[in-house]
Amino acid sequence: MKSETLERITTTAQYDRVMETDKWSGSIPAITFPSDWQIHMVPPFAGAVVRFAVVKGNQYVSVYLDGYDTLGLFGEPYWEIFTPNNDEFPQRCPMNDTESLLRKISYALEEE
């Protein structure tokens, strides 16, 4: 086995342990998105548990889940919604409040 492959396997195992991927797989709520939104999955980075982007036409909204409250100070796992060129964003809502999440994404898409 190549050393790069072994390193990738080892690093992935460490990441899974530190980021508790098994825990999050069963904790993140299901979200039913409107049919006119395109959802683009983005690899998580900078400590986010998951990331995705919502695209509607030429409008773009970035969303991530901070499960450890390490990217901001919210006090519990939360979604952050960001859209460029809008002073009202970023906005946040609790992880389990998917109604607020969808409402904030929809608002961001309408405002762009």
pLDDT at 87: 80
Chain centroid to CA 29: how far?
12
pTM of the model: 0.89
8 Å CB contact between 49 and 25: no
pLDDT in tens, 13-43: 999 999 999 999 999 999 999 999 999 999 9
State the pLDDT at residue 16.
Answer: 93
Please determine, for residue 112, whether its predicted confidence score (pLDDT) is greater than 70.
Answer: no
Strand-pair partners of 78: 66, 94
pLDDT in tens, 73-99: 899 999 999 988 778 889 999 999 999
Residue 2 has pLDDT above 80, yes or no: yes
The three-state DSSP-derived secondary structure of the chain is CCHHHHHHHHHHHHHHHHCCHHHHHHHCCCCCCCCCCEEEEECCCCCCCEEEEEEECCEEEEEEEECCCCCCCCCCCEEEEECCCCCCCCEEEECCCHHHHHHHHHHHHHHC
The pLDDT value given to residue 111: 64
CB-based contact 48:64 (threshold 8 Å): yes
Across 100-112, average pLDDT: 88
